[in-house]
Chain A
Amino acid sequence: MTPFDSFKNPDLCRALLGKLEAALDKPMRFMEVCGTHTVAIFHSGLHSLLPSQLVHLTGPGCPVCVTHESEVAAFIELAGKDGVIVATFGDLMKVPGPGGANLKKAQAEGARVEVVYSPFDALALARDNPASKVVFLGVGFETTAPAVAATVKIAREQKLDNFLLLSFHKLVPPALRALLADPFMSIEAFLLPGHVSAIIGLAAYKFIEDYHVPAVIAGFEPVDILTSLLLMVEQRKKGEAKVVNGYPRVVPDAGNPKALATMYEVFKTSDALWRGIGAIPDSGLVLADAYAQCDAFKVLDITLKESKPLPGCRCGDVLKGILKPNECPLYKKVCTPANPVGPCMVSTEGSCAAYYKYQL
Chain B
Amino acid sequence: MCLAIPMEIKSIDGPVANVEISGVTKQVRLDLMSEEASVGDYVIVHAGFAISRLDREQALETLEIFKELRLDAF
Contact = CB atoms under 8 A, between A and B. Distances in A.
Interface of A: 2-4, 6-7, 9, 11-12, 15-16, 19, 34-36, 61-64, 89-91, 117-121, 139-141, 143-144, 146-148, 150, 153-154, 195, 198-199, 227, 248-252, 256-259, 262, 347, 349
Contact of A35 (B2, B32, B52, B62): B2
A76 B59 CA distance: 45
A121 B29 CA distance: 11
Contacts of B34: 256-259
Given A258-B33, A258-B34, 18 more contacts: A2-B42, A3-B56, A4-B42, A12-B71, A19-B69, A118-B49, A119-B48, A121-B48, A147-B29, A147-B46, A195-B2, A195-B4, A248-B61, A250-B52, A256-B34, A256-B51, A256-B52, A262-B32
Nearest to A146: B32
B44 interface: yes
A15 B63 CA distance: 13
B54 A4 contact: yes
A317 to B, nearest CB: 22
A214 B11 CA distance: 41
Contacts of B8: 2
A2 B6 contact: yes
18 contacts: A2-B8, A3-B59, A4-B6, A4-B54, A6-B74, A19-B69, A64-B1, A117-B47, A118-B48, A120-B49, A140-B1, A148-B47, A248-B58, A249-B59, A256-B51, A258-B34, A259-B32, A349-B1
A147 B47 contact: yes
A303 B46 CA distance: 29
B1 to A, nearest CB: 5
Contact of B52 (A11, A140, A198): A198
Interface of B: 1-4, 6, 8, 29, 31-34, 42, 44, 46-49, 51-52, 54-56, 58-59, 61-63, 66, 69, 71, 73-74
B32 A34 contact: no
B4 to A, nearest CB: 4
Nearest to A4: B59
A217 B56 CA distance: 18
Contacts of B73: 11-12, 15
A132 B6 CA distance: 36
A285 B33 CA distance: 21
Contact of A258 (B32, B54, B55, B62): B32
Contacts of B58: 248-249
B48 A62 contact: no
Contacts of B4: 36, 143, 195
B31 A262 contact: yes
A221 B63 CA distance: 13
